[in-house]
Homo-oligomer: A and B are copies of this chain.
Amino acid sequence: MDIMAVVDKMLAGDQAMLAKVITRIEREDGVVPEIMKRIYPRAGKAYTIGVTGPPGGGKSTLVDKLVSLLRQKDFTVGVVAVDPTSPFSGGAILGDRIRMQRHYLDEGVFIRSMASRGSFGGLAMATKDVVTALDAFGKDFVIVETVGVGQTELDIINRVDTTLVILIPGAGDAIQTMKAGLMEIADIFVVNKADQPGTENTINDLESMLSLHPAASGWDVPVISTQAHNNIGIEDLFQQIERHRTFLTERGQLNARREQRRKNDFLMAIQDRAKRQLQKHIERDGELSAIMERVARGELDPHSGAIEVFNTLGLLNE
């Protein structure tokens, strides 16, 4: 079937076609811009939630329980779980994603794991496009969960409306949270596994850090506790998400955030396109691959090599 026919069936509500479209986006093949152009006018209605934090915090379980709650409230949900894996193997390690298969029989939920298959990004771009697809399909909420805590993951999480940072009691002190760059991206702090010792201390530490570094937006970042594995605190979490959504909407910040995001997406798309086109040229063009070989042998430094490529192609080089 022609991919555009698949896209149209997806937009008509066929979830199997949604899966096919997402697979094409993940493969990052040449048809992606055309797909995105078709689905873009239908996107923009979903509310997006990011879930991040150090490994071992119980993020998957928390997302699982949040999905169940949203379904009870009759919202439809998309989940994108971003698993950074080795740049060498390219294999996704699904791990506890299996637990979420309980939702697979529920047509109101769509879950996809995304893995990074190499360096030089691409993952942030593909994740963004998958979120747009879930949004255009009509999901009320789209949850983006990241496993790693790094720059690419921050880029991904930056694209949501409300960001949850999940920590556990005592697991690394507040400084670790700051070091991982999580302090300023959190709209809501969640201390999960709150049946473990040290919960109160961790909450107090976070609250005193927040009183020293209040959010620039004027939003009062809440610190809540959950026990996702016991399904405790999830309703409270949902209420806080709704409270944040209301705050953003009433202040006009939701639109402002989304405009800024689109600009970033645009710059990312340009960068992505430039990289692909140039790589394609290097593969085909003897002169360009000769430059690469000189760089590989160490005869030419990478920056000078890049300048030579730009000169050879007659590109903007100033």
Contact = CB atoms under 8 A, between A and B. Distances in A.
Interface in A88-116: 88-89, 93, 95-96, 116
Given A87-B158, A148-B149, A270-B278, A55 B180 contact: yes
B176 A56 contact: yes
- Which of A152, A270, A310: most chain B CB closer than 10 A? A270
Interface in A253-293: 258-260, 262-275, 277-279, 281-282, 291-292
A317 B275 CA distance: 12
A150 B124 CA distance: 12
A4 interface: no
Contact of A275 (B153, B274, B282, B297): B274
A5 interface: no
Given A33-B307, A151-B150, A185-B88, A119 B275 contact: no
A33 B226 CA distance: 50
A295 B259 CA distance: 8
Number of copies of this kind of chain in the complex:
2
A210 interface: no
Greatest chain B CB density within 10 A among A55, A216, A303 is at A303
A154 interface: yes
A163 to B, nearest CB: 11
A205 to B, nearest CB: 14
A270 B84 CA distance: 24
A251 to B, nearest CB: 17
B123 A179 contact: no
A12 interface: no
A195 interface: no
A198 interface: no
B274 A36 contact: no
A56 B315 contact: no
A155 interface: yes
Contact of A36 (B150, B271, B301): B301
A259 B296 CA distance: 5
B301 A268 contact: no
A275 B269 contact: no
A234 to B, nearest CB: 23
A305 B154 contact: no
Contact of A266 (B150, B264, B306): B306
8 contacts: A44-B298, A95-B178, A120-B268, A132-B301, A259-B297, A270-B278, A271-B271, A277-B318
